[in-house]
Amino acid sequence: MVPEGCRVVVFLHLDSEGPSTTIHLSCFQDEVSLGKFCGNTPPASIRTSGNVAKVVLHAGPSTTLHGMTNVNQKFKLSYNTSRETCGDELNTPSGIITSPGYPSSNMYRRTCTWKITVPKGRRITVEVLDYDVDIAGMPGIWFFNDFAFESLIARYTTDTIMPTSISSTSNVMEIYFSISRHMGRRGIKLRYTSDLPAGMYRCAV
């Protein structure tokens, strides 16, 4: 377990005797499997999307493993932490927004906030390019017309249908995406653009 807001990166080094070594490695996050690997070449690293991970390692009965930190000298397991941001402050007239790891997302108990600001007088339109989330993860996405809760434009959860586009009535928009459980789907991909409202034009200088 590492501090909240951090992610765990697990590194496994195996130094085995004999070419017939078979390793069974499983990595879990709150009992949800992040992957299972079998063979004599383990993955270089496994990255979680939360601050807790459990690793289960089994080696064949005829295998002798050597390591530096284990008292039985069987393997060496090390980990590192990384603090990953989820969300951003966007100040360009247009851009692409994706959930962490898209399109091979492995989110778990994450909240992401994107704050979009475009030149005054413009309006923001968000197009939904991809919305592939696991209903069991209880996902939700909120669109705000300002950086305040009372300016809610729309809210979409597992029991609502996501539209193809959402528009603001001002030059700022906040997008809030949350998932409370494991999500092994692609995630979300949005594209935002900005333009002057219909009937308005920019005066030439």
Say what the pLDDT of residue 111 is.
Answer: 85
Residue range 105-126: mean pLDDT, rounded? 86
The architecture in CATH of the region 87-195 reads Sandwich (2.60)
Question: Closest Cα to residue 85, out of 4, 174, 2, 5?
Answer: 5
In tens, the pLDDT along 135-193 reads: 766 678 999 998 777 788 988 877 677 788 999 999 999 999 988 766 667 888 999 99
Please spell the DSSP secondary structure of 137-156, one letter per residue.
G--EEEEESSSSGGGEEEEE
- Each domain of the chain, given as residue ranges in start order, spans 6-83, 87-195
pLDDT given for residue 86 in this prediction:
79
pLDDT at 62: 45
pTM of the model: 0.59
Lowest mean pLDDT among 81-85, 130-134, 139-143, 163-167: 81-85
- Phi first, then psi: what are they for 94, rounded to 5°? -155, 165
